[in-house]
Chain A
């Protein structure tokens, strides 16, 4: 039968380069954002989070930038390694009564050795 392939945006980088993965969100009431990494056959793995009262947060080799004006989130990975190859999802949460994460479509990061 006919197969349906994945149509994820793909970012291909060389090992050692910096990677920037982008995400747009639509709900201006969102006040908490998370980046997840998903390797093949595994569940989403937490990378870094940021609250809406911040515009930048740094972790180990990763930085998240939040631009609330244009509702844009980015994940920067420094010195990308082959082990960083995965699908990266942003997710947002609207504070208050809901605790439901809304996931983005995902970006496939392919690191070339």
Chain B
């Protein structure tokens, strides 16, 4: 079964450093998402991306965050200057045709900011 893959599975970084989280969505999917889950809390929406541009973003997704689809397969989330409160599990997801169809999630990248 096709799946969304994320790398790395764990990322440890120092506060103020830049990190890039990588995702390979399912190949025929057109909508891409980033969600995050702080330990013990709900899964929260960060951003959705379609047709090479952001279609929606949450208030969490400030100017320290950016997304990119640099080629036909990868979808990345960059945090420019990490803060302690950015520590969370970051999930990439994709969906096939419409933003209203079911999302398939990757296994996540656990980001720890020290």
Binding site for B on A (CB under 8 A): 4-8, 32, 34, 36, 41-46, 49, 89, 91, 93, 95, 98-106
Contacts and interface: CB of A to CB of B under 8 A. Distances in A.
B100 interface: yes
Considering the complex of A and B, which 10 residue pairs feature the smallest CB-CB distances, nearest first? A99-B99, A43-B105, A103-B43, A100-B45, A44-B105, A6-B40, A103-B42, A43-B107, A43-B91, A43-B108
Q: How large is the interface on B (under 10, 10 to 19, 20 to 34, 35 or more residues)?
A: 20 to 34
A50 B107 CA distance: 24
Given A43-B91, A43-B107, A103 B44 contact: yes
Contact of A99 (B6, B39, B56): B56
B95 to A, nearest CB: 8
Contacts of A6: 40
A55 to B, nearest CB: 19
B80 interface: no
Classify the interface of chain A: helix, strand, loop or mixed.
loop
B103 A46 contact: yes
A43 B25 CA distance: 13
Contacts of A49: 102
Nearest to B103: A101
Contact of A93 (B31, B58, B93, B100): B100
Contacts of B108: 41-43
B107 to A, nearest CB: 5
Given A95-B100, A100-B58, A106 B105 contact: no
